Amino acid sequence: MKRNIVPGKLKEPPHFSGKKKIVLAEKATAKPPSSRKANLYLNLFFFLFAFLLYGNTILNKYAVDDTHVTNNELIKQGFKALPEIFKSRYINQQGNLGSTTSDYRPVVKATFAIEYQLWGEKPGRSHAINVFIYWALSILLFSILRRILANYNILFPFLITLVFMAHPVHTEVVASLKNRDELLAFLCGIGSLRLILAYAGKRKVFHLFLAMLVFIVGYLSKSSILPFLALFPLVLYFFTELPAKTIIPIVFLLAIVAIFAQFGPKLYLPDPQRTNLFIENPLFGETNLWLRLGTGLVSLLFYIKILIYPYPLLYYYGYNMIPVTNLANIWALLSLLIHGGLLIFAIRNLRSKSIISFAILWYLISIAMYSNALFPVVGMVGERFVFTASLGFCMILIIMIFKLFKTDPKHLTIEMDIRLKILTMIFLILVPFSVLSVTRNRSWRNLFDLYRSDIKHLENSAKANIDYAGFLMNTVYQDENFLRTGAVNQYKYQVIVSHFRRAITLYPDNYKTTNDLGTVYLFIGKNYDSAVWFLHKAIKLDSTLQPAWVNLGMAYREKKEYTKAIECYEHILKVNPNQLKAVFALANVYNDMGEFDRAVKMNEDIMKTYPDLEMPYVNIGNFHMLRKDTVTAVEYWEKAVAIRPSFELCVQLNSLYLIKRDIKKAEYYYDLGIEISKQSQ
């Protein structure tokens, strides 16, 4: 008797189910030789596109925070620095207001130490390596997209990759050397994903072991790899047939690895010391949940805005670019509506494994840790924070373009007219994106260009105004003409003052900025009344910090109000009797008052305690020079140079010996000064 066969009701043979089905799918994806050649051409295309977008960064120098990972003393030790890099914190800075040691990102610092060993301090080559990393992760991303979207037309993953590569929001990550940590974290994240997918296909534990190692490398580059712990199961659920009982242990193992990477180094690292500042994010220390949620929702809206309309792109945001607000704010409510709607749509289509549902969940998972709702982030928002999440946005964008032309991306063949329409739309997106990226790269040429190009859009950023004013202030202090004559460009002086004042207007309780403005009025503007006013204000903000007291004493000395200057320095010495700068400054005041012997004795007392310190000799030489006792002044200055030579003293001694027609000694101090100058460059 014949069996009736009903079309469409055939059952799959038993050997096509479960694990074997996945293995067969894996085998089916094996590339023939012609396919390898096509891949070679694709990789070459991605290489050319990456360098079209970011090749001009090779001309760039250093910019914001690059000293953490490039031209600092530890990195300059090359290979010898590697053990210390893995035993020390990522940031290790000393300052007048305390030290900062925080984070642990040894892998990225190690890459720069290796570079320095190979070719020294060459920022252009470091930028080229960033571009190569971007190219590598683009190739790997395309490979993963082709793998998980095997049932889709190849044009679909190709266009997603192109738009991802061209998106201008990535310029901060590629053009900033400091942000190589983001590149490496993302590269290792998708590298781990590729290995996990290989494990899903072949079930070889070796692939899972490699995935864990790569994940550790990514975590030791930057903790921004953490969202992948949720992205891994998302990909496995949507694009493999692995059961939950297999997916959960994989994620659990990787979570254990992340915990080990987080807490293991604490066994040998120094305790972190970092003060989270209000100007970086006013939510630090904020306990009001409604304010955190409201501000977090506005932050999320910001990310959607820069993905859709990536202009202007800025190196920093912080207070008060994203105002602290509650849930009743109209923008917070709009963000809640948008993100809530996206989440509901994604969950409702979760069981059908809709590609748009996957893209939405990828975006939401990746951006969640930067929302400020649970954990405030430094800067409040930032373009680098949206790097991983932007892939979800690019997927949604390409899906919408296919839908616009009523084309199913799963169709293996797409009609020529439809294909031309899709490519035309992509062209209209890629051209402005690419132009914006290339143009934005120029702003990252160096610190000054970056500050100057961005500051006009950062009127409400307290820290950005401080950064720009502080940078210009330091250029004045380092200018040889200013050091020699005290003359300064008045336009630059006014710019410095205006930006410091703007920062104080935004955040009046900032001690450091108030003190800095006081010093600008004191040393650059010679406006001693304004200097006294702002330095008094700084002391009112925090009377325990000494810099403002030192500067206030100097301001009173310039005003010849010596009694008040003495009160300032005696206050410092009462708190800290070993503050040598205060002792020297107090001696200078006494010398100004005509108490020469007292001023000299104060410096001689320091000589007895610190015989290897050159400053007492410099000061006493100065005192004698003011009394026109050139012979004794030269005697003390030569003793100072013998202890620790300085360029300024060598120049002074060279001039004096030229006047005396002692050519031999004049040439000696000239040569010594040149040598010191070269060493400082």
Read off the pLDDT of residues 554-591 as tens digits, 9 standing for 90 and up. 999 999 999 999 999 999 999 998 889 899 999 999 99
Strand intervals (E) in 172-322:
none
Rounded (5°) CA angle 147-151-153: 95
Q: Going by C-beta distance under 8 Å and a sequence separation of 6 or more, which residues neighbour residue 299? A: 322, 370, 371, 372, 380, 381
Nearest 10 degrees: CA dihedral of 336, 339, 341, 342?
180
- One-letter amino acid identity for 346? A
Q: How many CB atoms lie within 10 A of CB 613?
A: 16
- Structure-model confidence comparison of residues 555 and 66, the more confident one: 555
Instruction: List pLDDT tens digits, range 24-58.
Output: 334 444 456 667 888 899 999 999 999 999 999 99
In angstroms, the CA 61 to CA 40 distance is 32
* Per-residue pLDDT band at 4 (split at 50, 70, 90): very low
In angstroms, the CA 567 to CA 532 distance is 14
- Structure-model confidence comparison of residues 597 and 72, the more confident one: 597
Handedness of CA 300, 304, 310, 311 (dihedral sign): negative
In angstroms, the CA 285 to CA 268 distance is 28
Which residues share a beta bridge with 101? 92, 273
What pLDDT does 5 receive? 38
3-state secondary structure of 349: coil
Instruction: List pLDDT tens digits, range 276-309.
Output: 889 999 999 888 999 999 999 999 999 999 999 9
In angstroms, the CA 447 to CA 436 distance is 19
The two structure tokens encoding residue 606: 């320091």
Q: How many CB atoms lie within 10 A of CB 380?
A: 28
Please state, rounded to an integer, the average pLDDT across all residues of the chain.
91
Q: How many CB atoms lie within 10 A of CB 544?
A: 8
* Lowest-confidence segment of 144-158, 260-274, 329-343 by average pLDDT: 260-274
* Per-residue pLDDT band at 102 (split at 50, 70, 90): confident
* Lowest-confidence segment of 88-102, 208-222, 420-434 by average pLDDT: 88-102
What pLDDT does 482 receive? 85
pTM for the model stands at 0.88
Rounded (5°) CA angle 230-235-241: 125
From the number of C-beta atoms within 10 Å of its C-beta (0-12, 13-18, 19+), residue 389 rates as buried
Which residues share a beta bridge with 99? 94
Give, as one character, the DSSP assignment of residue 13: P
Start-to-end CA distance of the chain, whole Å, equals 97
What pLDDT does 92 receive? 80
**Is the bond preceding residue 616 a cis peptide, omega within 30 degrees?**
no
Instruction: List pLDDT tens digits, range 191-206.
Output: 999 999 999 988 899 9
Would you say 546 and 573 are in contact if contact means Cβ atoms under 8 Å apart? Answer: no
Nearest of 236, 160, 21, 149 to residue 410 by alpha carbon: 149
What pLDDT does 18 receive? 41
In angstroms, the CA 53 to CA 169 distance is 12
What pLDDT does 97 receive? 59
In angstroms, the CA 176 to CA 172 distance is 6
Q: How many CB atoms lie within 10 A of CB 563?
A: 9
**C-alpha distances in angstroms, 435 versus 160, 167, 393, 472?**
18, 10, 20, 30
Q: Does 20 score more than 50 pLDDT? A: no
b/e per residue 632-671 (b: at least 16 CB within 10 A): ebbebbebbbeeebbbebbbbbbebbeeeeeeebbeebbe
Nearest of 187, 54, 58 to residue 128 by alpha carbon: 58
Domains of the chain in sequence order: 21-71+121-271+278-441 (no CATH), 461-570 (1.25.40.10)
Would you say 637 and 621 are in contact if contact means Cβ atoms under 8 Å apart? Answer: yes
Would you say 310 and 169 are in contact if contact means Cβ atoms under 8 Å apart? Answer: yes
